[in-house]
Structure 1
């Protein structure tokens, strides 16, 4: 049971340390797109690639 708590804490730290991942983008209710975001979406971050953007909606 202790190892389960350790795994959850490591997963939490991994998500906190690397905010430029597609998983972190989904937590921000966004989606990954190559290039820039077009209206009505705004750039909420990056997805870790060279030109990939995390696009979020103003209405969700």
Structure 2
């Protein structure tokens, strides 16, 4: 029962964006390299050098 609860929690979270389009759909902005405060990283934007950031 505990495992099925964990799967529901994991499945209910949206997957992190992996492209610029997915980032924008989740109301994020793509920055090169890293996010700076007050922004925080929620995914990537198509390559390992771009971060999808949200406030």
Common fold by TM > 0.5 = yes
Root-mean-square deviation (Å):
0.9
Structure scoring higher RCO (CA < 8 A, sep ≥ 6) equals 2
Q: Which one has the bigger helix percentage? A: 1
**In terms of Rg, which structure is larger?**
1
Deviation digits for residues 8-54 of structure 1, max 9, x if unmatched?
Answer: xxxxxxxxxxx411110001101111110011000010001121000
Give me the TM-score of the superposition, normalised by structure 2.
0.64
Q: TM-score, normalised by structure 1?
A: 0.60
Runs of 4+ displaced beyond 3 Å? none
Kindly report which structure 2 residues correspond to 1:1-60, keeping only aligned pairs within 5 A, or say none.
Answer: 19-57=17-55
Task: Return 5+ residue gaps in structure 2 as ranges.
Answer: 1-16
Paired with 1:49 and 1:31, the residues of 2 have a C-alpha distance of 14
Aligned length: 39
